[in-house]
Amino acid sequence: MTPPSSTSPPRLTHDQRILLLALAAAAPGTLISLIVLWTHPYTAKVQWTLTVIILGALLGFLSAVRNRVVVPLQTTANLLSALREGDFSIRARRSRRNDPLDDVAFEVNVLADTLRGQRLDALEATALLRKVMAEIDVAVFTFDERRRLQLVNRAGERLLGSAAERLLDRSADELELAEWLQGETPRISAISFPGGSGRWEVRHTSFRQHGLPHQLLVLADVSKPLREEERQAWQRLIRVLGHELNNSLAPIKSIAGSMSSLLKRDPLPEDWRDDLQRGLHVISTRAEALGRFMGAYARLARLPPPRFHTVHVPSFVERVVRLETRMPVAIEGGPDVTIRADGDQLEQLLINILKNAVDAAEETGGGVTLGWTRLAGAPFLELRVDDEGPGLSNTANLFVPFFTTKALGSGIGLVLSRQIAEAHGGSLTLENHAHGPGCEAVLRLPV
C-alpha cells in the first residue's frame, strides 16, 4: 500500500468520520429548529436560551456518539496489543448478552485463553526438548545458512571439548565438522575429536527456520555397541568352528591312535591292511568334509559386490525354475517388469530358496509355487516361494551361519541368500503359513 503524498489532503480518522455522519444526521433538525426559533416573535432571551440548549445538546450527543464508538475500539486495540506482546492475563469485561460489543469481548477472551494454552504447551514442549537434548548421549549441532553453529547440546560440548559459549557462531570449517555436513547419510566413520575418538554414526539433514535454510548434524558413538556385536559374532563363529573342527579332528585323532597301536603289534594281525584302509578312508572322508566346510566359510566371507545390469524378471524366473528337475514348480504369473540387479547372484539366491522349498515339499509330497507381484506405486518387487512342506521348526536360527537341520547341509545357503538380497538394497524373510502347512519365502527387491 503506497503512502499518501505530502500534497494530498489528510484522510479523516474513523472517529472523525463517525462524528461527521452524526452531525449530518442531526443538522437538518437542528437547522429547522433554529429557523423556527428565530423567525417567530419570541423574546431575545428565549431565543438565545433555546439556541444555547439546542447547540449544547447537539454537541453533547455528538461527543457521546464518538465515545461510544471510539472507546470500545480503543479497548479492543489495547487487548489485542497485550496479546501480541504475550500478556494473556488481561480480559475484556462483558456487559450484557445479545450485544455486538459483548460478542467481540467474548471472542477476544476466548482468543486469549487459546493463545495462553498454546503458549503453555509450547513452553512445556520446548522445556522437554531442551531437557532431552541436554541428557541424551548423542551430539547434536545445528548450523545456519552460513554454516555457523547456532545450537549445540552437552554431548556436543563434550565431544568438541569446549563450552557452548565458545562454540556458538563459529563456522563448521573452524569446528572441523564441515565434511560431515555432506555425503551419504547415515554412515559410520572412524573420527577423532578433542573429546574422544571412535566409530560414529553420522546423520545430517536440512530444515528451515524463519524462512532460512539450516542444517542439522547428529553424531552418535557406536563404538561400544559395534564392539559388543563383534564380540558376539566372534563367539558364535568360534563356537561353530570349534564344533565342526572337533567333529572332524576327534575321529581322526582316535583312528590315528588306533592305527598307530595296530602297527606296533608284533606280529601284525592278518587283516591289518583292511583296518588301515578303513582308517585312512575315515580320515580322508573327514578331511574332505572339513575342507568343504572351510570352503563354504570362505565363500560366505568373500561375497563380491553385485554388478548391476537390467534383469527381465519373467525370463529370469523361468530360467531358474527350469534348473529344478526333481519336481515341477508352478509359476504364478506376475507383471512384466525389469529391475537393476546382478543376475548371477540373484540366480544363486533363488536356486537356494527353491532347493530348500523342494526339499521341504518332498517330505510331505506337496508342491512348490513361485510368483512375483508389485503393488501400484510401490518402489519394490516381491518374489514369493511357497511350499507345502512341514514348515520351519526353528525360525530363530534360520540365518545363523553354519546352522542346519539337514544331514548334508552346510548351513550357509540362507545366510548367503540374505547377504545377496541386502547387497541389492532388498530383504529376505521366511515364515510359516498362518493357515495350513508349509512355508513362504519373500524376496523384496527395489525396482
Residue 256 lies in a domain: yes
d(CA 68, CA 267): 136
Residue 213 lies in a domain: yes
Residue 261, all three cell numbers: 597301536
Same domain, 260 and 317: no
Give Cα separations from 292 to 386, 400, 415 (angstroms): 30, 18, 17
In 304-409, where do the E strands start and end? 309-312, 330-332, 338-341, 368-373, 380-387
pLDDT of residue 407: 47
Q: Which residue from 330, 397, 396 is spatially nearest to 357, judged by alpha carbons?
A: 330
Burial-class residue 385 by CB neighbours within 10 Å (0-12, 13-18, 19+): buried
Cα dihedral sign, 236-242-248-251: negative
Same domain, 189 and 237: no
Please tell me whether residue 64 adopts helix, strand or coil conformation.
helix
pLDDT of residue 1: 46
pLDDT of residue 418: 84
Q: Which domain holds residue 406?
A: 309-446
Same domain, 19 and 148: no
pLDDT of residue 45: 86
C-alpha 258 chain-centroid distance: 64
d(CA 259, CA 280): 9
Same domain, 217 and 231: no
Same domain, 159 and 250: no
Residue 363 lies in a domain: yes
d(CA 27, CA 33): 10
DSSP assignment of 150-185: EEE-HHHHHHHTS-HHHHTT-BTTTTT-GGGGSSSS
How many C-beta atoms lie closer than 10 Å to residue 33's C-beta?
14
Residue 12, all three cell numbers: 479523516
Same domain, 47 and 155: no
d(CA 156, CA 154): 5
d(CA 447, CA 442): 15
446, 379 contact by CB (below 8 A): yes
In 327-421, where do the E strands start and end? 330-332, 338-341, 368-373, 380-387
Residue 374, all three cell numbers: 508389485
Domain CATH for 385:
3.30.565.10
Same domain, 216 and 250: no
d(CA 137, CA 223): 13
Residue 129 lies in a domain: no
Residue 8 lies in a domain: no
d(CA 358, CA 414): 14
Please tell me whether residue 29 adopts helix, strand or coil conformation.
helix
d(CA 157, CA 114): 38
| pLDDT averages per 10-residue partition of the chain, 447 residues | 54 76 83 84 84 86 80 79 76 68 76 81 79 81 90 86 86 87 84 80 87 88 74 69 70 80 79 80 76 64 79 89 84 86 86 86 87 80 88 64 51 75 87 83 87
- The residues that bridge with 441 in the sheet, in sequence order, are 385, 430
Residue 192, all three cell numbers: 577423532
Same domain, 318 and 413: yes
d(CA 332, CA 58): 96
Of 275, 301, 327, which residue sits at a domain end? 301
Same domain, 335 and 437: yes
Residue 193, all three cell numbers: 575429536
